[in-house]
Structure 1
């Protein structure tokens, strides 16, 4: 997968799964942006997918 395809895939995933995520919204309201980002990166399966795609960009 080239960089252009990877970026498109990341955008699709963010728009599809992360845009209206209730868990992210709840964590952000109660614990702040940093806690929500930590959850998304470390525990969410979508975040794991995004990390794998991000490695293709470096």
Structure 2
């Protein structure tokens, strides 16, 4: 997979799932921006998928 393909996939995932995420907005209101962001990175399945793509990009840069 090329870097452009990975970035396009990331953009598509983020637009489709994250842009209007009710859970993120609710967590942000109740607990703050940092808590909501941390939740997305560590517990959200979409966030885990985004992390996988990020790791692929890092591997390609280091190779």
Higher relative contact order (CA 8 A, sep 6+): 1
Structure 1 runs (4+) deviating above 4 angstroms are none
Give 5+ residue unaligned stretches, structure 2. 59-63
Q: Computing the radius of gyration over CA atoms, which structure comes out larger, 1 or 2?
A: 2
Q: What is the 5 A alignment of 1:33-52?
A: 33-52=33-52
Give 5+ residue unaligned stretches, structure 1. none
Number of residue equivalences = 58
Scaled by the length of structure 2, what TM-score is found?
0.89
The CA RMSD measured in Å over matched residues stands at 0.5
Scaled by the length of structure 1, what TM-score is found?
0.96
CA shift, 1:2, in A, is 1.0
